[in-house]
Structures are given as structure tokens and as C-alpha cells.
Structure 1
Amino acid sequence: MNRAPEYVSYARMDELHELQRPRSDARGELNFILLSHVKELLFRAVTDDLDTARHALAGDDVADACLALSRAARTQRVLVACWESMNGMSADEFVAFRHVLNDASGVQSFAYRTLEFVMGNRPPRQVEAAYREGHPLVRAELARPSVYDEALRYLARRGFAVPADCVTRPPEEQHEPDPRIEEVWLEIYRHPDRYRDAHRLAECLIEVAYQFSHWRATHLLVVERMLGGKSGTGGSDGAAWLRTVNEHRFFPELWTFRTRL
């Protein structure tokens, strides 16, 4: 038996290319599955970098945290490009195989949910669902502070006026916008030369948040182009639901303090 080339055996490429199994003969379905797989893997890559940043912040290593955050933002740009690739499919091409998806929906992705939890979006309804029937990776994430929680803890250790209740809150509870945290970021941006590390951290965090919002906005546009006003798969409200989600911002005080700067 011929041995597979090292590139194939190391990354198990032969198995990877066996995973795409369309349920129809429609031309666009294979591309849809391939891009769905790519997005899932990229979710994991971003999560891994955010986890690295989180551990670095816990050790007061801002340089390594910012390196990991910057790497995550680069990968997020590739995620946005995935929507651009899928956008090349016409509405009639998508309709030709949409029925075979049954109730499958991207909102069921445990990799995506884990990423949202790592970034700090932990609404009670999603937390309850994760504890009840979520994937082990999603449930495990709820036991850890988010990357934003760790950023606030780092600032508190550096002497900034971060309220105690913002750093002692149980990790499964979502961080809510707090004007006291807004004051902390405002102080940092008013004196960037004095607080160089904190300012750099803030810029890296806001880029990650920006790229996530960019991904959501592009998702909305692609869905509107594909489905118009139809309901989404898996019983979601399609574009209407995505418009609501688009209003959410990660690391909220990093957005709101700017009005006062």
C-alpha cells in the first residue's frame, strides 16, 4: 500500500474531503457545505486566539494578549470574506436545495455559540439552553470569565476604578453596560501616553468587536439577497432577527465612551 504524502496524513486531508455530502444535485449545495465547514473552523480559530488573549491578560501580559487579539481580528476578516464568497450564489440556486436543510440553522452551531460566550455575550436564555442541552464546549465556557471580563480584571489590578461587582460577578452572568466602566475607558483615552498598555489593549479589543459586527452586518445583507423577507431556517425570523442582532455590540463601554471624548 502506498503511504499518503505527509501533508495529507498530518492534517488528515483525505478524511476532510469526505465530509462534504450534498443531499441534492443542485449545483450550489456543495459550495454551501464547503463554506459552512470553513466558517466553523474559523470560529474555532478565533476562539482559540481569544482564549490565548484571555490567559495572557490573567497573567498581566498585555503584549501577548494584543498579539492574540490582532491575530483573531485577521481571522475574522476571513470570516467576512466567506459571506462574500457565498454571496456569489443567486437566489434561485439557493432555493434549489434549501428544502434539504430541513430545520438546520447556523444558530445551532456550538462553535459559534462558544465564540459568543468567549467574547461575553451570555444572555440568560442562551445560558439556560446551554446548561440544558448545549455542547460540552459551550457549557465549559460558561465556567470561565469572558475575554472582556479578564480585560476589566487587568485594569482593576492596574489601579483603575473598575467597580468590584464588575470583576466578581459569576462568569455565567452577562456583563451589562455600566457607566462606571465607561469612565475608566474615557480616562485611558484622555491620557493615552500615560496608559499606553491599556490604550493598546482597548484598540485591539474594539477591532475584534468591530470585525464581529462587520460579520453580522454582512450576514444580514447576504440573507436579504438570498431570502428577501422569508423566514430563516431552523424557525428563525430570517433577516428580521438578524437586524435585531446587529444592534448588539461586544465590549459596550468601548463604543459608548467615544461620545464624550
Structure 2
Amino acid sequence: MSALTYGDYLRMETLLSLQEPRVPHTAGSAAVLAEQFFIITHQACELWLKQLGADLEAAAEALLPPCDPHDLELGLEFLLRSVDVIRVLQQQLLVLERLPLRYFAEFRTYLDTASGAQSAQFRRLTALFGTSHHQGSLYEAFAAAAEYHGRSVDEVCRRGVETGVLHRLAEGLVDLGNGYWHWKVAHLALVSKMIGEQSGTGGSSGVDFLARRVTRPFPELRRLRGKVHHP
């Protein structure tokens, strides 16, 4: 048996063959490379979404009762890694701003009805994060963990570091929620820059459609943290 190589381990040959621009080569190499840049960025995002969804589901599972202190610390590890993954996703949007508008306009018609709104992995995140009005499964798991350890989320917010790992979990959720919100705002800004008032590729209203979906998760946690200002 031959020794395992870096390329074999990462399946590099397959990975690097997955970018297939649809714009004709007659459009010129700059247009082809622009679409390749667009494809690679979105494929990379989907890979990070796979990791993010798996980590957040693992965090929620670790927090579900019965959960001992080790489970809480493990959940926190998953949560904090997810905060950094969200930052990576936001940075990729900033990189995508280097896509020249003239080339995007040239290959955009070849996207046909394909749209980021069709991402199954993003819908998976919505169930975990919730919306501005509904709690997601991640917050529900945290609230259940706090109750299992004899605390309410309100008490965790008010007592802060006295509640140990529960406090760190609450702060991690806040950082995660803010990162998620910043990511969606950055996406909205990018789309506004690239298509203006044009409709989205999937038949949506474009910028207006995205703007209605820029939400801040964990509304109950934010409400309870705000109560700390009013003893």
C-alpha cells in the first residue's frame, strides 16, 4: 500500500475539478476567472457552513440535560469555534467585493435560477439561530442547561461571572448572534453594491428580499441582558 499523501488525504484532484465556469471562453480569460472566483468563494462558504452547522448542533446536544460541567465546557468549545467561523464567512464576503462588476454582469445570466437562497445549509442555520421573534434550538438548549443547573437565564445575565460556565455560554451566544447579524448585513451590502435594484437570480426582489431577512438571533437573551440596566 502506498503512503498517504497530502493530495490523497484532501482529495485534491476531485476538489480542484469542481469549479466549472459557465461563461463561454470566448468572453475572455478575465471573465472566466471572475466566475471561477465567484464559484470558489461560494463553495468555500458552503464548506464552512457544513462545519458551522455541525459544531452548533454538537453544542446544542452537549447542553441538553442531563448535562454535567464537562458537557457545558464542551458545548462552549463548539460555540466559540463557531464564533470564529462566522468571522471567516464575513471575511469571505469582503473578499468577494473584489469581483469586478462588468464581469459579474457578463456571467450572471448563466446562473439562470440558481440562488444562494436555495442553500439547504443556510436553512439549517436558521433552525439553530432562530429569528428576531423566535428562539432557535441553540438558545432553547442553553436555557434548558441553565434550568438543569438551578439557574434561570435572567439570573445568569444578572449575576454574570458568579454563574461560571453558564455566563461564558451566554456571552458566547451573544458574540455568535452579533457575528451572524454582521455577516448578514455584510451580505446585504455586497448584493446592494453588485446588483443595485435588480431582481435576485432566484426570482426574489433582490436587496429588499435580503433586507427583510437581516435578523438578530436570540431575542430573549438580548431582552434579559437589557434588563440588567434596570435593577
* TM-based fold match above 0.5: yes
Match of 2:195 in 1: 227
Match of 2:147 in 1: 156
The Cα of 1:213 is off from its aligned counterpart by: 0.6
- Structure 2 Cα separation of the partners of residues 236 and 113 of structure 1: 16
- Whichever residue aligns with residue 194 of structure 2, its letter is M
- Whichever residue aligns with residue 94 of structure 1, its letter is F
The Cα of 1:193 is off from its aligned counterpart by: 3.5
DSSP-derived class of the 1:199 partner: helix
2:184 to 216, 222, 229: 216
The Cα of 1:109 is off from its aligned counterpart by: 0.8
Greater displacement, 33-42 / 109-118? 109-118
The Cα of 1:232 is off from its aligned counterpart by: 1.0
- Whichever residue aligns with residue 29 of structure 1, its letter is E
User: What is the number of equivalent residue pairs in this alignment?
Assistant: 215
Percent identity over the alignment is 34
The Cα of 1:120 is off from its aligned counterpart by: 3.4
Match of 2:37 in 1: 31
1:102 to 92, 112, 128: 112
Normalising by structure 1, we get a TM-score of 0.77
- Whichever residue aligns with residue 9 of structure 1, its letter is D
- Structure 2 Cα separation of the partners of residues 230 and 96 of structure 1: 15
- Structure 2 Cα separation of the partners of residues 159 and 106 of structure 1: 42
Match of 2:28 in 1: none
Contact map agreement 1:148 1:251 (CA 8 A) in 2:
yes
Contact map agreement 1:50 1:118 (CA 8 A) in 2:
yes
- Structure 2 Cα separation of the partners of residues 33 and 193 of structure 1: 44
The Cα of 1:5 is off from its aligned counterpart by: 6.3
Where structure 1 has 5 or more consecutive residues not aligned to the other structure, the ranges are 125-144, 162-183
Normalising by structure 2, we get a TM-score of 0.86
DSSP-derived class of the 1:234 partner: coil
Q: Where does 1:134-145 land on structure 2 (aligned, <5 Å)?
A: none
- Structure 2 Cα separation of the partners of residues 4 and 36 of structure 1: 32
Contact map agreement 2:158 2:225 (CA 8 A) in 1:
no
2:137 to 125, 146, 151: 146
DSSP-derived class of the 2:57 partner: helix
- Structure 1 Cα separation of the partners of residues 210 and 126 of structure 2: 15
Root mean square deviation, CA, Å: 2.1
DSSP-derived class of the 1:235 partner: coil
- Whichever residue aligns with residue 30 of structure 1, its letter is Q
The Cα of 1:55 is off from its aligned counterpart by: 2.0
- Whichever residue aligns with residue 41 of structure 2, its letter is L
- Structure 2 Cα separation of the partners of residues 78 and 34 of structure 1: 14
Q: Deviations over 1:100-152 (max 9, x none)?
A: 0001000111111112223335x99xxxxxxxxxxxxxxxxxxxx82222111
- The 3 A distance-change label for structure 1 pair 190 and 118 is closer
- Whichever residue aligns with residue 192 of structure 1, its letter is G
Match of 2:165 in 1: 197
Matched, 1:257 2:224: yes
- Structure 1 Cα separation of the partners of residues 108 and 210 of structure 2: 19
- Whichever residue aligns with residue 16 of structure 1, its letter is L
Contact map agreement 1:44 1:115 (CA 8 A) in 2:
no
Contact map agreement 1:54 1:150 (CA 8 A) in 2:
yes
